[in-house]
Chain A
Amino acid sequence: MAEKKDFETNLKELEQIVERLEKGDTTLDESIKFFEKGMKISVNCRKVLDSAKQKINDLTRAEKEEEKKID
């Protein structure tokens, strides 16, 4: 299920999952479920971050080319 939550919301959820797992009071079953969710969110976050980085690089490059044109 694709959820359209923003990066900050996803990150928060990831942090909460890690906290729960680290606390150690989850059953085996819960642990596995949390782990699965955590991996999903983690993959999603990584994707968002990577595309953001890409966008920043593209904008910076485009701006440098604009400057060259003016000069």
Chain B
Amino acid sequence: MDIRALTVKQLNIYVKSLLEGDSHLQSVAVTGEISNFKNHYASGHLYFTLKDADAAIRCVMFRSYAMRLNFTPQDGMQVVLIGRVSLYEKDGQYQFYAEQMFAAGAGELALKFEEIKNRLEKEGLFDLSKKKKLPAFPKRIAVVTSDTGAAVRDILNILSRRWPLCQVLMCPVAVQGENAVPDMLDALERVYKLNNCDVIIIGRGGGSAEDLWAFNSEELARKIAVSPVPVISAVGHETDFSISDFAADLRAPTPSAAAELAVPDCKEVAAGIEKLKVALKTALNGKYNLCNAKFEKASNSPFLKYPEERIIGLRLEQIDRLTDRASAAIDRNINSLSSKYGELLAKLDALSPLKVISRGYGFVTKNGSAVVSASDLSEGDRISLKFNDGEADCTVNERKLNNG
């Protein structure tokens, strides 16, 4: 017969998976006495044994969790550990992996609270990604709280002052004692079924840890987590934290704060609208003014306002200027010709024989023609001597030439 033998590793892995598959063992609280405590300073991990009269279990607290302790664990200390159980594959060691450690004597309620919180957080119930956003202007708000006491009064007063437009669905419940959790589960179920509310406020006024205990119920947290609309949890005073606070979409430090968070202030909204109205008017007027200015600029162009000046006048001006230039040019020409003529006239005048004569010279004519050379004259010729003021008829007596 064949015996199917596993390897040691396979066996260890199998047992480990059994342990890790049991959700009860993945978040469990155990109490006992510390012994064989070792702090590996290098790694920061804590190794010890937790024992009581009948049994013991090996424990490890990794550095990331150990860092958060506000006391130093010692042998002989009675403690409560919250953590998980598993197996170290390599040596088959069954261990408790401690995540939180409390000195015994810490309130039982506090421990319970931590244990529940730890477990639900691990499940992802408190994930931020699950949180829904509140509506800006809710129409209907479900208020799950006691119908006696200050909390409900405060909530209703604030809602009606800030946002009187919304309706309130009042769901009176017990908020402490054995009826509290069933009442609240029932109220939530009915609100979900009705499905006509935008927001749910669930909570109560201040009280002792025992008074507030109902809001640490795991069942309530799970119910809140599946709400189709945003839930605001408002339990006790600012310093009180409940499991429902973590499970809800928003925690309000007090019931009054919940009302303030749930609705806007109608006065602020009205002021905001007024501002928008003003901005609208400003924008519109601005647009008009811009268009008008652009238009004025274009239509005020002198070409459109004084066209005769620009279109005709300009051209007339051109003609005038050209005419002036022509006149000036002609004047210059005439002047230059004039002075040339004047010069020539003067030259002519200077060369004129009459001028010569006026200086006292005379000239000779024979038979009406001028005689410029002595060789043209003979003895006995009848000549005329012309002077400026008259003439004299003469006869040549003797003619002599300069050369021989």
Contact = CB atoms under 8 A, between A and B. Distances in A.
Is the interface on chain B under 10, 10 to 19, 20 to 34, or 35 or more residues?
Answer: 10 to 19
B301 interface: yes
Contacts of A24: 314
Contacts of B288: 49, 52-53, 56
B304 interface: yes
A35 B298 contact: no
Contacts of A21: 301, 303-304, 310-311
A55 B311 CA distance: 37
A31 B294 CA distance: 22
Interface SS of chain A: helix
Contacts, number: 53
A1 interface: no
Interface SS of chain B: helix
B336 interface: no
A39 B292 CA distance: 16
B284 A42 contact: no
Interface string B302-314: 0110010011001
A24 B310 CA distance: 9
Interface residues of A, number: 23
B311 A45 contact: no
Interface string A5-49: 001000100110010011010001001100100110010011001
B285 interface: yes
B303 A49 contact: no
B295 interface: yes
B132 interface: no
A29 to B, nearest CB: 10
A62 B288 CA distance: 19
Given A18-B303, A18-B304, A60-B281, A11 B310 contact: no
Interface of A: 7, 11, 14-15, 18, 21-22, 24, 28, 31-32, 35, 38-39, 42, 45-46, 49, 52-53, 56, 60, 63
18 contacts: A11-B291, A11-B295, A14-B299, A15-B294, A15-B298, A18-B298, A21-B301, A22-B301, A28-B311, A31-B311, A38-B303, A39-B304, A42-B298, A42-B299, A49-B291, A49-B295, A56-B284, A63-B277
